[in-house]
Every structure is written in structure tokens, then in C-alpha cells.
Amino acid sequence: MLAGFGAGLAGGLFGVGGGIILVPMLTAYFALSQHEAHGTSLAAIGATAVAGLVVYGLAGNVAWWPAGLLALASLPAANLGARLAARTSRERLTLAFAVFIVVVALRILWRAPAGSAEHALTGVPGVLASLGAGAAVGLLSGFMGVGGGIIAVPALTLLFGMSQQMAQGTSLALILVTAPFGALEHHRQGNVATRLLPGLAIGALLGAPLASLAAQRLPQQGLARGFAVFLLANAARMVWVSLRAPRAR
């Protein structure tokens, strides 16, 4: 429950799945393999997405139509990304992706996006942009093994002018669709520790609404800069895991 609570706090506050909190806990304290940790995390963060999405939705901070299009395009792209990952050495690409995240985080810290209730994902151009962004999010998420929120939120704020709160709410709607599909695939491969799910889900259901309520009350630019720090933490973790991974000989 404590592990789920921590993941729920991260998910609700920043509009992500909370895997950066949950996966290390599952490997370190619950002795799961890396694959089991990813699968179990995906199965648990659905609770984070549901609980957080209710709060963001009631506050009017979810762009429902773009979220549906993002999810529609991300599902096949995530499967393609996962298949490509199985055939590719990901060490250098992981480091490159970490550098990309650092650049995005520094851009937000330098000049946080102003954001507004209006955004560019409207009309026919908005539909096409949503589908393209969803495909990119799904491909990178499946290939790099990261949650879609860490890619979707900065894309929605920096490229399409969404407020930080609306981008995070829209990201949770996306995760609510994509996470169960990923979890089902992991479950078919035996990589979901179902015995842990009730406690993780209960903890997430408690933590996500609290953090989501706090996110609605934080100033736009302060929340954006907090998200940038979260990105830097993700980048540091990717580099650490990549450097510690055994080298192929």
C-alpha cells in the first residue's frame, strides 16, 4: 500500500503513471525481476489514472477528444516499439533519450510554458496532430520502456500550448487506455505479480486524488517547473540503470 501510495502521489501530481517510483520499489523491496516490475507497475497504475482522472476531469482539465485520438494512435505504435526493442541494443538509445529529456527539462526550467485553456489540437489539423503525437508517444514508450506521460505531458505543453494541468489530465486519460493493454501483454508472459496488486491499487487510489487536488491549486509555472525536475529525475534513473546493466560480450 505504501508503494502504491507513493506511485499515486507522483501520478496525480505530474500526470504520469508513477513507474519511476514503483518499479525500483518492486525490484528492491519485493524482489521482482525487472520484467515483473514493469508488468506489475503497468497493472497497478490503472488505479492511479482512474483516481487522478476523476479529479482532473471535475476541474475541467482533461481534453477528452485529443486524449482519445492520442490513445488510438499510441496503441499500435507501442506494440511496434516493443517489437523493435526486442531486436535492438537499447543502451545508446536509452542514453540518447535521457539526454533528450534533460534538454526538454532545461527548456521548461529556462522558460516555463504559459499554457491556457485553449490549445492547438482542434479541427482537422488538430486531429492529425493528435494522431501523430499519439503515434510518437506510443512508439517511444514501447521502445524505451517508459510511461507515456513522461513524453505526452511536455509535448502537449510545449508543442500544442496546453496548460500544465490540462496536459497532465489528458495524459492520465491516455494512460488509462494504454496501461491496461501493456499489462495484459505482460500478464500473458507471466510478468505480473497479481498477489501485490490489491495493496498497490489501494495505495494508488489513496495517493492519486490527494496529489491531483494539490496540482489543481498549484500555479501553472510552478507546477511546470516541478515537472521539469521530475523529468531530470527520470533521466538520471535511465542513465543509472543503463550504466549498471551487464554489457553484452
Mind listing the pLDDT tens digit for each residue in 197-239? 999 999 999 999 999 999 999 998 889 899 999 889 888 887 8
CB of 23 within 8 A of CB of 155?
no
- Please return the burial class of 75, using the count of CB atoms within 10 Å of its CB with bins 0-12, 13-18 and 19+: middle
* 193 contacts 32 by C-beta, under 8 angstroms: yes
Quote the CA–CA distance of 15 and 176 in Å, as a whole number. Answer: 11
* pTM for the whole structure: 0.85
CA atoms within 13 A on the CB side of 217: 6
Helix (H, G, I), strand (E, B) or coil at 1: coil
Q: 168: alpha, beta or left, given left = phi > 0 and alpha = psi -120 to 50? A: alpha
Q: Per-residue pLDDT averaged across 15-33, rounded?
A: 83
How far apart (Å, rounded) are the C-alpha atoms in residues 58 and 102?
Answer: 32
According to the model, what pLDDT value does residue 52 have? 92
CB 76 within 8 A of CB 137: no
Angstrom distance (rounded) from CA 39 to CA 130 = 27
Render 217-231 in DSSP notation, one character per residue.
Answer: HS-HHHHHHHHHHHH
* 78 or 90, which is more confident: 78
Greater confidence, 128 or 114? 128
